[in-house]
């Protein structure tokens, strides 16, 4: 009888120990709130980003010594917080700025997240970051390019992606290099949709060329998700610009490629601004008739065995898709945020903010082709940059510019099909 009691007590004690240690381990979790479009017109972006963040959390939470210099990869969890694990809490913004803001509030006040990460669409990043600013919670944005986001005097907002002014400069430099090597680049046409992305990027690029004394010759706008683009292509065919810069989302990019083939029109240089042209579904659908298109990207897969190639592989296993620039920028942003939390050694918002301000990552510590990560007073990454890539061998983009990062030389003129 007594013995039974003692055994019972011992069992209970052992169980409570197990439970207690379990609870203790659970305490060491750092929650990061993530706002993404999981439904609505851009739901596929959200699904890809979710897979990418799962890969990123795997890299942070488990030991991945094969990833070399990448911060947080070597050991399991955040060393600065005694091996704490990162947990991602995803909220759906439904493609709606108001919903995005509600979700930011919920993540901060209900889920008590240490930081917020998001929100893809610039308009939603705008409204959701305003809540984080009011509550004094760090907000990291990795992919919204609207210039005004970092012009609001916010103290808790940080952005890792290159923005329109950065890549407009890259286009100007790239085209003057092409001109130096004998290509004709005098008349430039901009083709863009009427969304915030299309109009703001087109304006910035036009401004950059104007500053260089080479105003854009032709500006062709079209309604987003167009069903017919013959008029626009005929206009281009008529004006015969030397260079076309395309600023389009996926469905329009595919329709442009098809329309250009059916009307048998090829410009000498076709330069695309990321977005649709980086989408794997664009390459699947019309890659074969878009040979020689140039594109902007900060992502290049690198030689096999390199950290970026390993990550691309992990991502492909998770999502079934090739890694693209958008997903890469999101993962990179997430790593920067996790690295700051690790260095802060705490989930105290002010300490994370200070750590973000002190961020100084070198190119070899990144998976993306940035020159580094370092934030200015406005929270913009000053070392963000991109490469020019070209679709040369059917299905894959190759880095061609600048020379230092080039795998192959650029091929001119645009070949098409």
**Beta carbons of 92 and 108 less than 8 angstroms apart:** no
Closer Cβ to other proteins, 108 or 255, answer by number: 108
Least distance in Å: CB of 341 to other proteins? Answer: 21
**Beta carbons of 45 and 326 less than 8 angstroms apart:** yes
Closer Cβ to other proteins, 36 or 355, answer by number: 36
Three-state SS sequence of 56-82 = HHHHHHCCCHHHCCCCCCCCCCEHHHC
Looking at residue 416, what DSSP letter applies?
B
Closer Cβ to other proteins, 147 or 289, answer by number: 147
Least distance in Å: CB of 61 to other proteins? Answer: 18
Least distance in Å: CB of 157 to other proteins? Answer: 10
Peptide bond into 89 cis (omega under 30): no
Least distance in Å: CB of 106 to other proteins? Answer: 5
d(CA 270, CA 274): 12
Closer Cβ to other proteins, 133 or 166, answer by number: 133
Closer Cβ to other proteins, 225 or 396, answer by number: 225
Least distance in Å: CB of 353 to other proteins? Answer: 17
Least distance in Å: CB of 99 to other proteins? Answer: 7
Closer Cβ to other proteins, 21 or 194, answer by number: 194
Return the exposure string of 172-202: e unless at least 16 CB atoms fall within 10 Å of the residue's CB, then b.
Answer: bebbebbeeeebebebbbbbbbebbbbebbb
Q: What are the CA-CA distances from residue 140 to residues 150, 168, 320, 410 (Å)? A: 11, 23, 27, 35
Beta strands in 347-414 (DSSP E): 387-391, 397-401
Q: Tokens 């990833």 map to which residue? A: 67
List of residues contacting other proteins (CB under 8 A) = 36, 38-40, 43, 46, 50, 89-92, 94-99, 101-103, 105-106, 109-110, 122-123, 126-127, 130, 133-135, 146, 148, 152-154, 194-196, 198-200
């Amino acid at each position: 009888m007594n013995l039974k009691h003692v055994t019972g007590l011992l069992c209970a004690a052992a169980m409570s120990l197990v439970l207690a240690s379990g609870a203790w381990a659970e305490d060491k979790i750092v929650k990061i709130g993530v706002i993404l479009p999981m439904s609505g017109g851009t739901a596929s972006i959200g699904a890809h980003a979710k897979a990418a963040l799962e890969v990123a959390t795997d890299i942070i939470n488990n030991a991945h010594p094969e990833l070399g210099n990448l911060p947080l990869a070597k050991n399991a969890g955040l060393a600065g917080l005694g091996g704490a694990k990162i947990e991602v809490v995803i909220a759906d913004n439904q493609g709606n700025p108001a919903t995005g803001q509600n979700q930011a509030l919920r993540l901060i006040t209900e889920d008590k997240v240490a930081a917020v990460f998001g929100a893809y669409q610039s308009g939603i990043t705008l409204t959701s970051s305003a809540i984080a600013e009011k509550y004094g919670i760090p907000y990291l944005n990795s992919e919204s390019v609207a210039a005004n986001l970092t012009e609001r005097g916010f103290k808790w907002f940080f952005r890792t992606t290159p923005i329109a002014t950065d890549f407009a400069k890259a286009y100007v430099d790239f085209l003057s290099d092409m001109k130096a090597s004998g290509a004709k680049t005098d008349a430039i046409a901009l083709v863009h949709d009427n969304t915030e992305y299309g109009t703001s990027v087109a304006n910035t690029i036009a401004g950059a060329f104007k500053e260089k004394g080479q105003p854009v010759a032709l500006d062709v706008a079209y309604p987003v998700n167009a069903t017919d683009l013959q008029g626009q292509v005929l206009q281009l065919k008529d004006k015969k610009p030397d260079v076309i810069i395309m600023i389009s989302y996926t469905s329009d990019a595919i329709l442009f490629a098809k329309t250009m083939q059916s009307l048998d029109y090829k410009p000498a240089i076709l330069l695309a601004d990321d977005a649709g042209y980086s989408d794997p579904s664009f390459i699947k659908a019309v890659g074969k008739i878009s040979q020689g298109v140039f594109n902007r990207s900060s992502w290049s897969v690198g030689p096999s065995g390199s950290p970026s190639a390993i990550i691309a592989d992990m991502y492909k296993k998770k999502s079934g898709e090739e890694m693209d620039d958008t997903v890469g920028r999101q993962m990179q942003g997430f790593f920067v945020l996790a690295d700051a939390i690790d260095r802060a050694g705490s989930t105290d918002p002010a300490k994370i903010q200070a750590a973000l301000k002190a961020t100084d990552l070198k190119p070899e510590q990144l998976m993306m082709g940035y020159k580094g990560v370092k934030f200015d007073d406005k929270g913009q990454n000053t070392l963000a940059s991109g490469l020019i890539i070209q679709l040369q061998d059917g299905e894959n983009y190759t880095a061609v510019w600048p020379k230092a990062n080039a795998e192959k030389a650029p091929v001119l003129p645009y070949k098409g099909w």
